[in-house]
Amino acid sequence: MTGSVTSRIRAIREHRGIPQTAFSWQVGISRQSLHAIEAGRAIPGVDVALRIARALGTTVEHLFPVAISTGAVDVDGPAGVRASGRMALAYLSGRWVAYPLGHDGAHVSADAIGTANADGFHLEHVRDPRESAHNVILMGCATGLGVLADRLNATTGTGRFLWMGRSSIASLESLAAERTHAAGVHLLDEASGIANLPDIRLSRCPSPVTVVSLGSWEAGFVTAPGNPLGIRSGADLIQPGMRIAIREVGSGARRMLDRELRRSGAPSTLRMPGPIASSHRDVAHAIAIGAADAGVATRDVAAATSLGFVPLATERYDLVLPTALLADPRIARLLDTLTSHACRRDLQALGYDTAETGRHIADIAA
């Protein structure tokens, strides 16, 4: 699938001699947001698009034509996921991206149904592409991102927000490939002791990014209820017969597990029997059903499944956003919601420390 979303607002506005500042005031948005919409860097929500269309005496369909044809599609997803079945769509950097909705996305209504065959990849749209163009992708492993997306979608405003569960490194890779609007990360650089920023700089994003804190959480060993095996350190994980739910390489949890094993003196060639988990929730699920004895995850998922938890460290979880998107009204709404009292209290109830939620951490050049 290829396509383009173009805006005719600027041409009509200038033809009628309406200054940008005056027009932004008329439709109730900032001049920066209007500039981003006219430049094609942002897609306004339905309410804003309707106000703009009314102010210019035309229709939304005329202002924002969407042309779509079948063909090649940029598909984002974990390695090994087939590019077929239910798909979410987003429009980023002038092209469409499709996201396979696996078991973690079973609750999300699809934008299209993908079919992969010898002729290539084809999409059957089950949502108007003009609506799909409003989608905002939040990528990362934190359940707090799902809470944030749900809060945004439950209120009136621009954008439809979709949480895609990915590891920190996978999220940064998608951000560098311009396949997500925001990447969530929790990656401690062991050499410097600095959280997240060294890995963000190494990700080589093609444009400047802004880092904002979602909050902090406790990470540690998740165990069976009551911790019957008495797991307290990495040394306890290398006992004969121990089954560890192991996160994939590139996740913050895997990095913490490897660090604890090194401290215990475990050999680098150590093989630990146990399932590979693609998320914190998968770690907890494996332990809850008896497929593993322990794993590294966060306190919130342990509490949600009534499992034991041994804290190892408090980590800051950050959101990484392309700086240019800060003018997008959808991202402005996201940041406003993130810092609201209701959202903070919700995150706190999940086990997050929200003292830094919404704080600007850094701006990083391309």
More confident residue, 240 or 226: 226
Closest among 102, 96, 94, 92 to 121, alpha carbons compared: 96
Contact 48, 134 (CB under 8 A): no
Residue type, 101: L
For the chain, the structural domain boundaries read: 2-68, 134-366
Please give the pLDDT value at position 8. Answer: 81
Helix crossing, 20-27 with 46-56: angle to 10°?
Answer: 120
| Predicted confidence (pLDDT) per residue in 101-125, tens digit | 877 777 889 998 888 777 667 778 8
Q: How far is 238 from 242, CA to CA, in rounded Å?
A: 7
Least confident stretch, 73-77, 178-182, 346-350: 73-77
Asked if pLDDT for residue 81 goes beyond 80, the answer is no
Q: Which CATH architecture has domain 134-366?
A: 3-Layer(aba) Sandwich (3.40)
CA-CA distance, 23 to 9, in Å (whole number)?
10
CATH code: domain 2-68 is 1.10.260.40
Q: Which of 45, 37, 96 is nearest to 66 (CA)?
A: 96
Least confident range of 25-29, 38-42, 50-54, 197-201: 38-42
Contact (Cβ atoms closer than 8 angstroms) between residue 20 and residue 34: yes
pLDDT for residue 234 is more than 70: yes
The percent of residues above 90 in pLDDT, for the chain, comes to 51
Pick from 320, 302, 278: which is nearest to 167 by CA? Answer: 278
What the block records as the tokens of 316 is 């800051």
Nearest Cα to Cα of residue 230 among 239, 351, 298: 239
pLDDT of amino acid 2: 36
Tokens read off for 176 = 């560098």
Sign of CA dihedral 326, 329, 334, 338: positive
Burial class (CB in 10 A: 0-12, 13-18, 19+), 118: exposed
- Helices (DSSP H) in 264-364: which residue ranges? 280-288, 299-304, 329-338, 341-350
Query: 9 is written with which tokens?
Result: 């607002």
Nearest to 140 by CA among 185, 195, 187, 76: 185
> Is residue 336 very low, low, confident or very high in pLDDT (cuts 50, 70, 90)?
very high
Length of the chain, in residues: 366
State yes or no: pLDDT of 84 exceeds 80: no
Residues 147-196: tens digit of each pLDDT: 999 999 999 888 999 999 999 999 999 999 999 999 999 999 988 999 99
Task: Give me the percent of the chain exceeding a pLDDT of 70.
Answer: 90
Element housing 69 (H / E): strand 66-69
Please determine whether the domains at 2-68 and 134-366 fall in the same fold group of CATH.
Answer: no
What was the pLDDT predicted at 70? Answer: 37
pLDDT-wise least confident of 15-19, 70-74, 75-79, 335-339: 70-74
- Asked whether residue 326 carries a pLDDT value surpassing 60, the answer given is yes
Angstrom distance (rounded) from CA 339 to CA 341: 7
HSE, side-chain direction, 13 A CA sphere, residue 94: 1
